Structure 1
């Protein structure tokens, strides 16, 4: 196998409004072929309408006082001055909580790997609402248990362009978010697919709850297999 060409310098920058639609499109491209994505978000998951909905969600902020969502983009800066988007990460920092509940209800954000952050009636056209509720809202309950009512940081999405994967970009994005979590003295949580478990464990995350999803039991998942979503927890670094 030929060696990979040297990777141009990667720059991490705060994402702003013009970046959210391209990030939504990158997520749809990266996860399109996954069985879970196909069943959860349906055959029109990469339609313009669904990408616009995702764009709106990426731009949203938590309702709870003192908390924030942060989206970071990884780009290659070309000689022309243009940016090539090669990855992105979305973190939420929840700084005020009571009894494990955010503003009296389950938090709105989804779990990591770019598959969450959608509310009931807002999962997108063609989505399997039952599956989305079972997985994403179910994961939120496990996250609430793992954080025990204390402030926390959560990785909501991590995505890297396929042609640039396995070249350290995901690590840069994770380390950038954890640096802020550690600065704030926060524990961290995320939801991982089986492909991401090894990477997250390197940064001190441990498995808190394993959710086994029998895709064949959901409409649109006939003939498909078992999918695993793992809620992971990392203690605050003092």
Structure 2
């Protein structure tokens, strides 16, 4: 069935969260495992805390001014592609666009939500935030990633792997950056590294997150 990309809506958030939970399962992802240490129940299923946190986080990110959240959809009826009822979301990407001149950062991310989240380890959140702030300063100085297209999150339904879905979603942002003559930035998990290298991202440095090496990567359009 044909695949296409469209902007995400609030109605897509539960499915996006479901894909994110599978893509960043605490069993294999160090960040999720440390942020929500009790994410798994005794029967090895993912608990409500992880699901609720994922839905809340994705919904907040969708509303952030800089956010460009996309979904890859499989259209069950190509001739009705404009009708979303026949579409299945099989992947998503969250890009942050560059800030315009005079535009201020709106504080997207965990720091914006001050309410406690059940199951979320505040010390782990603070540690991760410090690592990411340090990494952005190392890459961009005090201004941070405000001038680049930044890929915050990418997830594909594990049952839909090897169809080029992740590549489609990454290339969307690369093309936007190229049109605007902006650079692209991301921090890759170990498993994501081959995809990002294949589309031209270059590793700048290693970033340790909870003891696991991640990679700070750039795709340059201004060099």
Deviations along 1:70-117, one digit per CA (max 9) or x if unpaired, are 11100111138511111000100122479xxx65xxx845xxxxxxx4
Deviation at 1:145, TM superposition (A): 3.2
Could you tell me which of 65, 77, 102 is aligned with 2:75?
77
1:210-221 aligned within 5 A: 210-213=206-209, 215=210
Q: Show the counterpart of 2:133.
A: 140
Going from structure 1 to structure 2, the CA distance change for 1:229 and 1:174 (only over 3 Å counts) comes to same
Q: Which structure: greater helix fraction? A: 2
Q: Show the counterpart of 2:93.
A: 89
1:19-98 aligned within 5 A: 19-32=12-25, 33-36=27-30, 37-44=32-39, 47=48, 48-62=51-65, 68-79=66-77, 82-96=86-100
Number of matched pairs: 202
Q: Secondary structure at the match of 2:184?
A: strand
Retained in 2: the 8 A contact 1:186–1:237?
Answer: yes
Deviations along 1:174-210, one digit per CA (max 9) or x if unpaired, are 0011111111111111111111112212222222231
Q: Output the CA distance in 2 between the equivalents of 1:46 and 1:166.
A: 28
Retained in 2: the 8 A contact 1:97–1:151?
Answer: no
Q: Show the counterpart of 1:209.
A: 205
Q: Secondary structure at the match of 2:191?
A: helix
Retained in 1: the 8 A contact 2:67–2:97?
Answer: yes
Q: Show the counterpart of 1:222.
A: none
Deviations along 1:32-79, one digit per CA (max 9) or x if unpaired, are 2324122222324752532341233232224xxxxx211110011113
Going from structure 1 to structure 2, the CA distance change for 1:108 and 1:232 (only over 3 Å counts) comes to farther
RMSD over aligned Cα atoms: 2.7
Q: TM-score, normalising length from structure 1?
A: 0.73
| Structure 2 residue 11 is matched with structure 1 residue 11 | no
Q: Secondary structure at the match of 1:194?
A: coil
Q: Show the counterpart of 1:154.
A: 150
| Structure 2, unpaired ranges of 5+ | 40-45
Retained in 1: the 8 A contact 2:20–2:54?
Answer: no
Q: Output the CA distance in 1 between the equivalents of 2:101 and 2:184.
A: 14
Q: Output the CA distance in 2 between the equivalents of 1:137 and 1:94.
A: 22
Retained in 2: the 8 A contact 1:142–1:209?
Answer: no
Q: Output the CA distance in 2 between the equivalents of 1:185 and 1:135.
A: 30
Q: Output the CA distance in 2 between the equivalents of 1:9 and 1:157.
A: 23
Q: Output the CA distance in 1 between the equivalents of 2:87 and 2:150.
A: 27
| Structure 1, unpaired ranges of 5+ | 1-7, 63-67, 110-116, 216-225
Q: TM-score, normalising length from structure 2?
A: 0.78
